[in-house]
Structure 1
Amino acid sequence: MRLLAIALPDSDRKGLVKFLFWSGCRPGEAFALTWGDISDDCCKIRINKSRNLYSVLKSTKNGVKRTFPTVPGSKLQKLLLEIKPSCNLNTLVFTDESGNPLSSAVLQKVWNGHTSKINGREYVSLGVLKELVKKGSLPFYLKPYSTRHTFATWAITQGVSPDKVARWIGDKVETVLRYYCHPQVVEADCPDF
C-alpha cells in the first residue's frame, strides 16, 4: 500500500485546515476566498461569498458580509503571508493541485482520508484529522465544520466577547452562544499541525 496525498499537497492541506480553525470561516467561504479579499499585510480578510458543493459561487450562508481581522504576528497572518503568491488578485487562496476551486467533497477526502485503486495498486491518504488524532493533537473526532465551532469557543474562552465573535463569523450572538460554545473544546489546545 502506498501513501498518496489526495487533491492537495500536504502543505496546502494543512494550510486550509489551519485557516478554518484560526478564522472560524465556513468551508465554502474559504473555497471562494481570493487574494483580492485579503489585505496586502494579511491583517484583514473580507468574507463576502461562498462556493457550494458544486463549486457554484454564491453569497455567504446567511448573506452577511464581514471583515475578519488578524493580529500582526498571529499564526493566521503568518500562514497567509507564507502561502501568498505574487499573482492576480482574482486567484483563489485555496485550490486543488490543478488550480481548480475546492469543494466539500475534496475537503472530506482531505479531512478523513481516502483510499483509491489505480492500475491495481492501492493508494491511501490518511487525512489531516486522522494524522492529528494519531499524533495526539486532537483527543476527539471533529467534522470539518467543527473548526468554526472550535474557533468560536476558543475565542470566547480567551475573553473575546460573544458579540465580537458573532461579528467575526457572520452570525448572531444568540447563535454563537447556543450552537458554537462547547466547554469540552477548551480542554484541548489549537493543534499546531
Structure 2
Amino acid sequence: MACGKWAVGKGWLEVNPYEGLKPKKDNPKEIKPFTQEEIRAILAGFDEVAPHYSPFVRFLMATGVRTSEAIGLLWGHVDFQRSEIVIKESLPKDLTGNGYRRVRKETKTGNIRYLPMSLELQALLLFLRPAKVNPDSLVFTTPQGCVIDADNFRCRQWAKVLKAQSIPYRKPYTTRHTMASHAIEQGVPMTGVAYLLGHTDTSMVTKHYGHMVNRPTLPAIPIG
C-alpha cells in the first residue's frame, strides 16, 4: 500500500492499486507450555523408555536453552566452581550440506549468557561428568557417543515418550516456552526472563508472554 502511494506521489501511477487492501493480521500461535504435571510425566517417561536422554531433557526443561545450544554444550562451558553454565555456542545443522553435518557457531542472537545452576541441575551435571574431563567434549551425546541429531531425537524418542504418557504432542522447543512461562509465574521479571532466553531486550518476551504478567481477575458481579 505504501509503495503504491509513493508511486502515485511520484506521478508514475494515477491510482494506487493497493488502496483499500487491509493489512494481514498478525495471528500469533497459542503457546502451550508444559504444566508441572506434564513435566513430571515426561521425565518419568524418559526414565523408563529412553533413560539415556533423560538428563538431556531435564537440562532442556530446567534451562530453556535452544536445542542446538544444548546439543553443542561442551564441558568447558560448565563451571562448577562458579556454579554456572556459559551459553555462547550452538551446534545447528549445516543447511548447505547433506543434512547430517553440523557446524559450531555462535548463538542465534550472538549473545553470551551465564546461567546459574540450581542444586538439582548441578547434581545432574556432576552425575554426568566423566572422571577425566575433556573441556572440548560434548556434555550430551547419543548412546554411541555421537552428536545428537535433533530430528532423530524428536521422532524416535520425544514423540514416543509423549504418546506413551498420553500428553498432547508439542515440539521439544516447547521446553523453552515452559521454562519462560514458569519463570514468569514464579515472579522472575521480564528483563530476567529475556536474559535467560538470550534476548537483548524484552520485546520478544513481552510479545509471547506479556499476557501472563499482572493478569487481572474478573470483577465481582452478583450472578449467584
Query: Fold match, TM over 0.5?
Result: yes
Q: How far, CA to CA, are the matches of 2:193 and 2:117 in structure 1?
A: 13
Question: How many residues are aligned here?
Answer: 154
Report how far residue 102 of structure 1 moved.
1.4
User: Contact (CA 8 Å) 1:42, 1:81: kept in 2 or not?
Assistant: no
Task: Look up the match of 1:106.
Answer: 152
Report how far residue 107 of structure 1 moved.
2.4
Identical pairs, percent: 36
User: Contact (CA 8 Å) 2:52, 2:143: kept in 1 or not?
Assistant: no
Counterparts of 1:54-73 in structure 2, within 5 Å, are 54-71=101-118, 73=119
Unaligned runs of 5+ residues in structure 2 are 1-48, 94-100, 213-224
Report how far residue 101 of structure 1 moved.
1.2
User: Contact (CA 8 Å) 1:13, 1:128: kept in 2 or not?
Assistant: no
Task: Look up the match of 2:51.
Answer: 11
Tell me, yes or no, if structure 1 residue 147 matches structure 2 residue 175.
Answer: yes
Q: How far, CA to CA, are the matches of 1:41 and 1:83 in structure 2?
A: 16
User: Contact (CA 8 Å) 2:80, 2:122: kept in 1 or not?
Assistant: no
TM-score relative to the length of structure 2:
0.63
User: Contact (CA 8 Å) 2:181, 2:209: kept in 1 or not?
Assistant: yes
Tell me, yes or no, if structure 1 residue 76 matches structure 2 residue 121.
Answer: yes
Greater RCO, 1 or 2 (C-alpha within 8 Å, sep 6+): 1
Task: Look up the match of 2:66.
Answer: 26
User: Contact (CA 8 Å) 1:153, 1:181: kept in 2 or not?
Assistant: no
TM-score relative to the length of structure 1:
0.72
Task: Look up the match of 2:162.
Answer: 129
Bigger radius of gyration: 2
Q: 2:89 aligns with which of 46, 49, 61?
A: 49
Unaligned runs of 5+ residues in structure 1 are 1-8, 113-126, 184-193
Q: 2:142 aligns with which of 73, 96, 100?
A: 96
Tell me, yes or no, if structure 1 residue 36 matches structure 2 residue 82.
Answer: no
Q: How far, CA to CA, are the matches of 2:109 and 2:161 in structure 1?
A: 28
The C-alpha deviation readout for 1:72-104, integer Å capped at 9, x for no partner, is x2x222211221212211110111122111122
Instruction: Give the root-mean-square deviation of aligned CA atoms.
Output: 2.1
Residues 93, 55 of structure 1: CA spacing in aligned structure 2 closer, same or farther, 3 A cutoff?
Answer: same
Report how far residue 177 of structure 1 moved.
2.2
Moved over 3 A (4+): 180-183
User: Contact (CA 8 Å) 1:111, 1:128: kept in 2 or not?
Assistant: yes
Report how far residue 56 of structure 1 moved.
1.4
Tell me, yes or no, if structure 1 residue 173 matches structure 2 residue 202.
Answer: yes
Task: Look up the match of 1:161.
Answer: 189
User: Contact (CA 8 Å) 1:22, 1:151: kept in 2 or not?
Assistant: yes
The C-alpha deviation readout for 1:22-81, integer Å capped at 9, x for no partner, is 00100000011011100125820000111112421111111111111123x2x2222112
Q: How far, CA to CA, are the matches of 1:59 and 1:18 in structure 2?
A: 23
User: Contact (CA 8 Å) 1:24, 1:148: kept in 2 or not?
Assistant: yes
